[in-house]
């Protein structure tokens, strides 16, 4: 087995939820790329809803419950908080799955190591099936 499935409860832990990039003692191969510090700001329209566990940046699951702003339609890293994410050769993999009504949208702004990414803002609008999905590399 390339993985030993030890489930970590992220709730209540610090945001550096990704494990240190250490070589697994099994036959697992060290991943290509480097670890970067990521902050984000996600805004969505009123009727859009993000799927549970449906938001990942650089292979790190984003804790939406904890990151929700006072405005229920906003999510962000607060203060000095950041996520330690894996930046691949092609960029930072961002996946987000959401539901919504016609005209709903979400907008994402990312900072990698304190610098805004060129792709800002990433924005997705509801498709015909009521989804607002995104899975791309951002550099």
Partner 1 sequence: MKAFFIILLLAAGIHLTASGQLVAEDASGKSSILLNASSISINLSEAALSANWNNFRNLAIEKPQQILWGLSARGSNSEGLSELFNGGQFTPKSRISGFIGLRKSYQTSAFELLKRIREIQTSEGFPNEEAMNVIRQLNEQVKAGRKKQPSKALDIYLNTGLNTDNFKLYSDQDNSSLAARFNNISFRGAFADIGINYEYGSRWTLGISAGYERYNNIDSLLSTDYKLTNITTIGNSQLSTEVKYHAYSGDYVAYNRVNFRTDALYFAKVSDAYRLVWNTLYTRWIFPLNESRINKVIQAGTAINFYKSEGKFAGGLYAQSNDLFNHLHSTDRFHERLSFGITAKYAFGTIMSRDFPE
Binding site for partner 1 (CB under 8 A): 2-8, 10, 17-19, 21, 24-26, 28-32, 44-54, 56, 59-61, 64-65, 68, 71-73, 75, 86, 95, 97-105, 126-131, 133, 135
Token pair of 28, please? 């697992």
Minimum CB distance to partner 1, residue 61 (Å): 5
Token pair of 60, please? 């790190």
**Cβ–Cβ under 8 Å, residues 42 and 74:** yes
Cβ distance to partner 1 smaller for residue 26 or 118: 26
Cβ distance to partner 1 smaller for residue 107 or 120: 107
Cβ distance to partner 1 smaller for residue 45 or 120: 45
Largest CA distance in the chain: 49
DSSP of 20-32: P----SSSPPPPS
């Amino acid at each position: 087995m390339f993985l030993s499935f030890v489930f970590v409860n992220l709730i209540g832990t610090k945001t550096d939820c990704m494990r240190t990039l250490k070589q697994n003692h099994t036959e697992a191969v060290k991943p290509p790329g480097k670890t970067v510090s990521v902050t984000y700001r996600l805004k969505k329209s009123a009727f859009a809803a993000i799927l549970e566990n449906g938001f990942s940046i650089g292979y790190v699951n984003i804790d939406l419950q904890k990151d929700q702003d006072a405005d229920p339609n906003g999510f962000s890293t607060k203060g000095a908080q950041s996520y330690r994410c894996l930046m691949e050769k092609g960029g930072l993999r961002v996946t987000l799955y959401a539901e919504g009504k016609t005209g709903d949208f979400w907008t994402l702004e990312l900072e990698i190591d304190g610098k805004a990414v060129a792709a800002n803002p990433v924005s997705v609008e509801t498709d015909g099936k009521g989804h607002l999905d995104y899975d791309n590399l951002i550099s």
